[in-house]
Every structure is written in C-alpha cells, then in structure tokens.
Amino acid sequence: MYHLSSSVVLGWSLGSNDAANVFGTAVASRMIRYRTAIILAALFIMIGAMVQGFGGIRTLGGLTEQTSRSATIVALMAGITVMLMTALKLPVSTSQAVVGAILGVGLAVAPQQVQWSRLVKVVTCWVGTPIGSAIIAAVLYPLLGRLLDRMRINFVSRSILLKSVLLISGCYGAYALGANSAGNVVGMFHGTGVLEGFANAEALLALIGGASIAMGVLTYSRNVMFTVGSRLVQLGAFSAWIAVLSMAVTVHVYAFIGVPVSTSQAMVGAVLGIGLVKGSRTINRKTLVRIVLGWLATPAIAGAASYAVASLSSRL
C-alpha cells in the first residue's frame, strides 16, 4: 500500500498543473472567483474519477508489465517531472510524463514486454487531442456566438448567463478531467497486486487517483491558472466558455475510448482554435513556443529519469 504514496505525489502534481485547464480561462476573465473554481473543480474531479476513471486505468496498466517497485519509479519520476514544469508555470501533459516514464522503465528492465501497439494508440490520441479540440472550438465559437447575439439580451443578463455557463462547463470539464486522468495517476499500479486483498481494487485506485488530483487543485494550482487563460490568447467571458467546453468535450471523448490524454493539450488546442477564428495576431507566439517545448520535453525527461533510476535499481 505504501507504494501508492508515489501516485499521490503524481496526482497532486497533476491537479496543481491541470486545474488551469478547467477553470483558468474563467478565473482569468474574472467571471469566477479562484476559491469557487478550485472547490468545484476538486468535487467534480472526484466524481469523474469514481464514475468513469476505470478505462484509463486499464489502458495504462497494459502498456507493459509492472511490479510494485517499477510502478513506484514510474509514478515518482512522472510526478517530479510535472512538478518541475509546474514550477516553470507551463501547462504540460501528465499523460505524456506517465507514458514516458513507463516506457523508460520498460526499456531498462524488460524491453521485450513493451506493448508497442498500445503505445502507438496512445501517441496517436496525443496528436489528435489538440487538433480535435481546436476544430471543436473553431466550430462552436461562431455558431454559439450567433445564437447568443440572436437572444438580444442586455449586458447584465448576458453577464449572468455567461457566468452560469462557465460554471456548468467548468464542472463538466472537471468531471472529464477526473474521468480521464485517474488512469494517469494510478494506472501503472493496475495488475501489480499492490492492493491485493481489497474487495474492489479498481475502485480504490480510482478513489486514490481522484483524491490526490483534487488535493493538488486545492493547494497549489494558482501558478499555472493564468498562463493559458491570459497569456496565450486574451480571452473574454464568451471565449473562455467556448475554450472550456471544447476541452471538456474532447477529453470526455477520450475517456470513453479509455485513453488518458492531456487536458493541457486540449485546452491549448481550444484556445488556439478561438485565436485562429478571431485572428492569428491575437495569439502570443512566444508563450505558445514555450508550451510546445514543454510538451516535447516532458516525456523525454520523465523517460530518461525513469530509465536511469530503474537501471540503477536493478543492479542493487
């Protein structure tokens, strides 16, 4: 059971980094208070993990055979990598950190057991995540914009409506985050026997994953909260709603498929989709380059660190 403490560290890191993807744009647009956002995010993350988090847990658990020792290395190295990126205020992909760490351990300990076909499936979904989210946002932005204009409501009523849909979309996004990311946090322990003797080990894994993500949201999510919402593209309340809704739909689709993907990539894709509709000049290219470099560095750092630690551990 103590091996799961490394997953708690990883989940905390994920929550502190990915809460920005759920409510960052709403908070940055000053439609929702930060305290309200993190409480709602934590609650619905827990619900999503417990209701629909099992698919991702099984997928990551099947990438390569794990022991409790190797799974601990995976969770710890991925968690440290995400913590490093969070300190740099970069919204990165926890799923990439986890898969990179799993691959690193697999290559160090038993390269013949790496399930390359499943890895290809996961990587393909990574590529599709920001593209799909950008397309959804680019379609929804003009469509819902015209619908809102036809309602012909005054400024006060419009503000109340937008605040309401931001709250609803944020809660939906938090649910999708929990459903999709519980696998990132505890999937490497699936099938290791670390919870042998418990009546429903999968449910307990989902609970641990959801609770640790929620704790990260509640304690250390402020730093990354404004990077996507206010530095990549300047978003108003309506744009913030479209971005969160597009991210949530994208991530929820992959939760049904059972592949943990990055809410960060989905959110950045959505923000870019809006930016392209509004005009590419609104996109902060410097911030975009930093974010993309963070995406590329995350699996490489996690994989290299896990490979090194696993290789050293096998000799002791």
Q: Any idea which of 12-16, 58-62, 177-181, 293-297 has the lowest mean pLDDT?
A: 58-62
CB 77 within 8 A of CB 6: no
Residue 21 pLDDT class (50, 70, 90 cuts): confident
Dist CA 207 CA 200 (whole Å): 11
Query: What per-residue confidence (pLDDT) applies to 249?
Result: 95
Per-residue pLDDT reduced to its tens digit, 259-288: 888 887 898 889 889 888 887 565 667 777
| pTM, 2 dp | 0.84
Dist CA 143 CA 120 (whole Å): 34
Counted residue by residue, the chain has a size of 316
Per-residue pLDDT reduced to its tens digit, 112-135: 777 788 788 888 988 899 999 999
| Strand (E) or helix (H) holding 73 | helix 68-87
Dist CA 221 CA 250 (whole Å): 22
